[in-house]
Amino acid sequence: MAEIRLQVSALEGWYGESHVLHGVTFDVKRGEVVTLLGRNGAGKTSTLRALAGVMRKRRGSALLDGHDLLSTPPHRVAHLGLGFVPEERGIFSSLTVRENLMLPPVVRQGGWSVDAIHELFPNLKGRDTTTGTRLSGGEQQMLAIARILRTGCDIILLDEPTEGLAPVIVEQIGKALVRLKEKGFTVLLVEQNLNFARGVADRHYVVEQGRVVDEFANDSLSASMDQLNRYLGI
């Protein structure tokens, strides 16, 4: 059995006085792609934000390769190999593709070269001097992932990468995730698009009201679709 990279236990989290995570427990093994599924407002994004240190008021335990994420300052989290690609993507519109790509520092060995990035995302090739404003949503998403790969991280928290994207682009993002998995990356994915999630993930956790309430292996999902649809309100 593969080793556990991310072990989250009884994780609680707050926005100010608002208590939104009520004891999230799950794990992600080395090389797995795992999704957090659930209805709007269930706490999926907040879980990623708590792990990345964007949400500061937290309690419980979150270990990455045995390192305590909750006591690690946000700027040191990347040094542990964790990269966060938020839903809003964070592409600077006035900067070029190349400038956006070069923005985060390389913090670990194994950071991707620009050539390797172009191989994964051919859409970004030849676009070095294009400014962020001129990129499509799909190109922005690719750039946001590419930028994280450059830093040398090997576990990626990815928040709704397919949101608002055309099916052909969703397919390209899916292929890139499969490639990353083949290369040994570990991915924790928040995703509303169940079809996309099924195409890339090994396991799925269901989040409800700030807790993980169920878990499904991807290869047994067909038999559990009724139950999953009930959770998701589909």
Ligand X SMILES: Nc1ncnc2c1ncn2[C@@H]1O[C@H](COP(=O)(O)OP(=O)(O)OP(=O)(O)O)[C@@H](O)[C@H]1O
Contact 127, 97 (CB under 8 A): yes
Task: Round to whole Å and give the CA distance between 79 and 66.
Answer: 14
Please report, as residue ranges, which positions from 45 to 74 form the binding site for ligand X (by CB under 6 A): 45-46
Choose, by CB under 6 A, the member of 2, 19, 23, 41 that binds ligand X. Answer: 41
User: Mind giving me the DSSP string for 139-206?
Assistant: HHHHHHHHHHHHHT-SEEEEE-TTTT--HHHHHHHHHHHHHHHHTT-EEEEE-S-HHHHHHH-SEEEE
Strand, helix or coil for residue 32: coil
Site string for ligand X, 9-28 (x = CB under 6 A): ------x--x-x--------
Q: How far is the CB of 8 from ligand X (least distance, A)?
A: 14
Strand, helix or coil for residue 85: strand
Rule CB under 6 A: is residue 44 a binding residue for ligand X?
yes
Rule CB under 6 A: is residue 164 a binding residue for ligand X?
no
| Residue with smaller CB distance to ligand X, 150 or 204 | 204
Stretch that binds ligand X, among 42-50, 144-152, 165-173, 221-229 (CB under 6 A): 42-50
Count of residues engaged in binding ligand X, rule: CB under 6 A: 11
Pairing of β 33-37 and β 186-190: parallel
Stretch that binds ligand X, among 37-45, 125-133, 174-182, 196-204 (CB under 6 A): 37-45
Rule CB under 6 A: is residue 233 a binding residue for ligand X?
no
Residue at token pair 């994915």? 189
Residues engaged in binding ligand X (CB under 6 A): 15, 18, 20, 38, 40-46
